[in-house]
């Protein structure tokens, strides 16, 4: 499997691409090509074009969750017309709550494009349970929150069945590739908790070998307790590498690197697994 980072907060040195506070990557297997998240703006489209990537060939767009720094780029894809998607209607994979309105005070932070608008270009497949995509990819659906350290605080508000409620981002998910050498776990922002995600991926896939964990770990200004918990639980999984980016600050990467094989992440990075 080949993973190419299209959007991250920074770009790899000597790779002259656009970066922004968001995430997007392309996942290519023998029989499946997926776009995982789309960043905030049209930058993922421009970067893909500069890399010679034809996004019209993708089988599906997979959204980690409905925040605008992961889903915002899809509106720009719509605005560029059929040529941007090659005239095809790839699947759109997400949690059923991913397109609910999301607000932080007076600021709208949900997907700028709603599901009816996106349905003109994509074929929605919303699932809260694990969903196989091709022979080796699995969309995890809703992540069980089983530990007492992660996903404790809401971010803004959303609309629930009983009205406006605190948003615990139940739509936050991840994707896993089942490789010969173990699992590659790809996250967008890990609002569910990176430990919860990794341990659920192992449960769903029935494989306790972790080859890599790539994406946002949502460790911004995290407490020493939270960082120690995360590093300790991930260390138990013995990943061959971890690539934290996007919403993982420098202090968190330094702390994780004391216990884990932390590697650099940025736009233009290409990783290959078997």
Do 100 and 168 contact (CB within 8 A), yes or no? Answer: no
Whole-model pTM over 0.85: yes
Token pair of 61 as six digits: 């767009």
User: What are 113-167's pLDDT values in tens digits?
Assistant: 999 999 999 999 999 999 999 999 999 999 999 999 999 999 999 997 788 999 9
> What does the chain come to in residues?
274
Token pair of 145 as six digits: 């929150």
Measured between alpha carbons, how far apart are the two ends of the chain, in Å?
6
| E strand intervals along 105-145 | 107-108, 123-126, 131-133, 137-139
User: What are 201-218's pLDDT values in tens digits?
Assistant: 999 999 999 999 999 999
Q: Please enumerate in sequence order all residues whose Cβ is within 8 A of that of 220, keeping only pairs 6 or more positions apart, or say none.
A: 247, 248, 249, 252
User: What are 70-118's pLDDT values in tens digits?
Assistant: 999 999 999 987 666 667 789 999 999 999 999 999 999 999 999 999 9
Strand partners, 183: 178, 210
- Give mean pLDDT, residues 249-269: 98
Do 77 and 71 contact (CB within 8 A), yes or no? Answer: no
Q: Which CATH architecture has domain 2-272?
A: 4-Layer Sandwich (3.60)
Q: Which of 168, 265, 263, 253 is nearest to 219 (CA)?
A: 253
DSSP state of 85: G
């Amino acid at each position: 499997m080949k993973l190419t980072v299209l959007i991250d907060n920074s770009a790899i040195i000597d790779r002259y691409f656009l970066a922004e506070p968001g995430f997007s990557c392309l996942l290519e297997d023998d029989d499946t090509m997926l776009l995982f998240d789309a960043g905030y703006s049209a930058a993922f489209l421009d970067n893909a074009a500069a890399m010679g990537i034809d996004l019209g060939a993708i089988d599906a767009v997979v959204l980690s969750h409905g925040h605008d720094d992961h889903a915002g780029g899809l509106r720009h894809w719509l605005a560029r017309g059929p040529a941007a998607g090659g005239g095809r209607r790839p699947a759109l994979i997400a949690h059923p709550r991913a397109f609910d309105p999301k607000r932080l005070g007076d600021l709208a932070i949900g997907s700028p494009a709603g599901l009816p608008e996106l349905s003109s270009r994509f074929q929605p497949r919303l699932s809260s349970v694990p969903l196989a995509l091709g022979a080796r990819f699995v969309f995890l659906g809703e992540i069980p929150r089983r530990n007492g350290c992660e996903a404790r605080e809401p971010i803004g508000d959303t609309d629930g069945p009983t009205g406006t409620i605190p948003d615990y981002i139940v739509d936050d998910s991840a994707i896993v590739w089942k490789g010969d050498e173990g699992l590659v776990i790809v996250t967008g922002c890990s609002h569910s908790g990176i430990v919860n995600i990794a341990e659920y991926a192992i449960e769903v896939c029935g494989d306790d070998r972790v080859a890599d964990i790539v994406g946002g770990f949502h460790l911004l200004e995290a407490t020493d307790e939270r960082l120690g918990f995360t590093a300790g639980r991930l260390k138990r999984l013995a990943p061959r590498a971890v690539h934290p980016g996007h919403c993982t600050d420098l202090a968190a990467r330094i702390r994780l690197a004391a216990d884990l094989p932390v590697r650099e992440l940025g736009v233009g990075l290409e990783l290959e697994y078997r």
